[in-house]
Structure 1
Amino acid sequence: MDCSVFQYIGIFTSLYFIVKIVLKLIEGSRLYIFSTYPDFNKYGKWSVVTGSTDGIGKETAIQLASSGQNIVLISRSEEKLRNVANEIESKHNVQTKCLTIDFSDDEEIYDKIADFVQGLDVGTLVNNVGIAQEISCFHEHPNLSKFLRDIIRLNVISVIKVII
C-alpha cells in the first residue's frame, strides 16, 4: 500500500497531538489528583497571614494550620481575629497569635508587626491585605484623596514593607 507524503504528515501530526493531550492529562492528574503540598515546617514553625479574617486570607490561614503551622493572624477586626483564631485552634491543634492592625494607618504599623513576631520562627508570609473597589468615576468619589492613599498603602506599600 502506497502512502503519500500527505498521509505521513497527517499520521505524524495526529500522533503529535495525541502525545500532547496525554501529557496534559498526566500533568493535570499529577496536579489535581495526586497533588502534594510543600512542607512549610521546614521553613519555620510559624506562618504570618495578613487580611486573615475573611475570604482567601482566612482560608489560607486554615490551610496552613491544617498542615501543622502555627499562625499569626493580622487584620483590622479584633472580634473577627478572635473568632478565626478559636476556629483554627479548635480544629487543627496549633497555636495562634492575633494582631489588630489597620494597614491604612501610618508607617509605624510595620514596626509593631516586627516587634510582634520577634522571637517566632516565621518561615511563611502570606500578605493578603488589600482593597479593591469598583469606581466608575473617580471625580465623583466623596473622599478621593483618602481613597487613593488607602489603595496605595494597602495594595502597594504593604507588599514591600511587610517583608522588610
Structure 2
Amino acid sequence: MEFLELLFVSAGLFAVLFYGGKIVGLVMMLWPSIWYPLPGSFFTSVGQWAVITGGSDGIGRAFALELSKKGMNVVIISRNQEKLDRAAKDIEITHGRKVKVVVADFTEDDIYQRIEKTLSSLDIGILVNNVGILPTPTPCKLLETTHLEQRIQQVINCNVKAMVKMCSIVLPGMEKRGRGCILNISSGIAKIPCPTYTLYAASKVFVEMLSQGLQAEYRSKGIIVQSVAPFGVSTAMTGYQKPDMVTLSPKEFVRTSLMYVKAGDLSHGTISHTILGWIVQAIPTWVLQTEAFQCNFMEFVKQKVDP
C-alpha cells in the first residue's frame, strides 16, 4: 500500500508540475514585453541587413516588410523576378529602406555561390530561412506523389539543404561580429507523426533539430537561433485560407512571432498556435496512424484549400 500511495502521489506531482509549467509558459506569452523584452532598437542593433529566403510572397514577404519597418535594409531571395520586384518596390515606398533582390530557385543546387557573393559585404543581423515547398498541393500518401523522385529531391533541396547552406554563408560573419539572429521557419506538424504529409513533416523535424543544435553551439557567441513553428497561415501553400482565430494572415503571424525572438530555441509564434500545439501533441499516436484518420484528414484539407 505504501508503494502504491507513493506511486500515485508521484504521478500527481508530475502532472501538476507538467501542466503547471505549460500554464506558466502561456502566461509568459501573454505579456512578451515583460518576459521576453526587446529594446526598440534590438533589430537594428544586431546588424544593418536582414536576409529572407522565399521573401517575395507570404510569410517571407511579411518578414521583409516588418523588419524594414523596424529600420533594417533587406535582401529578399526567391525564384520569381516579377514578385521580387513588386515586393522590393512596396518595401522601398512604404518604409524607405534599401532592398536587394536575388533570383534563385532553392530546389536547384548551383545557386549558392551567387548568393554568397551578393551577401559577402553586408552587415547581416538577421537571417530568416523561410523558403519551403510541399511535395503536393494537398496531402497524400508518399507513393501517390506525382513525379515522386523529382519531388523528393526538390523537398530536400528547398526545405533542408537551403537552410543549412544559408546558415553556413551567414554564420561566419555573425560569429565574427558577436551578434545576430537566425529564424528558421518550421511547422507545427513537426511535433507529431503526420501521415499524408510525411515527407514535408520529416523535413521540418530536420529544421527543428538543426536549430536546437546551432543554438547550443553559437549561443555563447551572442547569436540567437530559433525555430518558428506555425500551424495555419493564409499563404499560397495553404490555398489562401480565410484568416480566423487559428489561421492567421502572414502580417499578423510575423508581427507576433517577432515578439518571441528571445523566448527560447522553439516558438510557435502566437498564443493560439501554442495552444493548438498542446492539443495536437495530446492526440494519441495510434489515432494519427489509423486509416480512417488519414482519409478524413486528407478530405478536410482538400475542402479547406479548394472549397
TM over 0.5: yes
Once the two structures are TM-superposed, the CA of residue 32 in structure 1 deviates from its matched residue by 7.0
SS across alignment from 1:47? strand
Over residues 130-152 of structure 1, what are the superposed CA-to-partner deviations in whole Å (9 max), with x where a residue is unaligned?
11234423323331100010011
More helix by share: 2
Residue 153 of structure 2 is aligned to residue 113 of structure 1: no
Highest Rg: 1 or 2?
A: 1
SS across alignment from 2:93? helix
The verdict on how the C-alpha distance between 1:147 and 1:127 changes in structure 2, with shifts beyond 3 A counting, is same
Give 1:128's aligned residue.
130
Which of 85, 88, 103 does residue 88 from structure 2 map onto? 85
Give 2:4's aligned residue.
none
- Matches for 1:44-59 after TM superposition, within 5 Å: 44-59=47-62
SS across alignment from 2:126? strand
Q: Output the TM-score relative to the length of structure 2.
A: 0.43
Q: Distance in 2 between matches of 1:43 and 1:27?
A: 24
SS across alignment from 1:84? helix
The verdict on how the C-alpha distance between 1:95 and 1:102 changes in structure 2, with shifts beyond 3 A counting, is same
Once the two structures are TM-superposed, the CA of residue 72 in structure 1 deviates from its matched residue by 0.3
The verdict on how the C-alpha distance between 1:34 and 1:138 changes in structure 2, with shifts beyond 3 A counting, is closer
Q: Output the TM-score relative to the length of structure 1.
A: 0.77
Q: Distance in 1 between matches of 2:26 and 2:166?
A: 39
Structure 1: where are the runs of 5+ without partners? Answer: 1-19
SS across alignment from 2:167? coil
Residue 93 of structure 2 is aligned to residue 74 of structure 1: no
Over the aligned positions, Cα root-mean-square deviation in angstroms equals 2.5
Letter of the 1:30 counterpart = W
Q: Which runs of 4+ in 1 moved over 3 A?
A: 23-29, 32-38
Structure 2: where are the runs of 5+ without partners? Answer: 1-20, 169-307
Give the length in aligned residue pairs: 143
Which of 136, 141, 148 does residue 144 from structure 1 map onto? 148
Letter of the 1:57 counterpart = G
SS across alignment from 2:155? helix
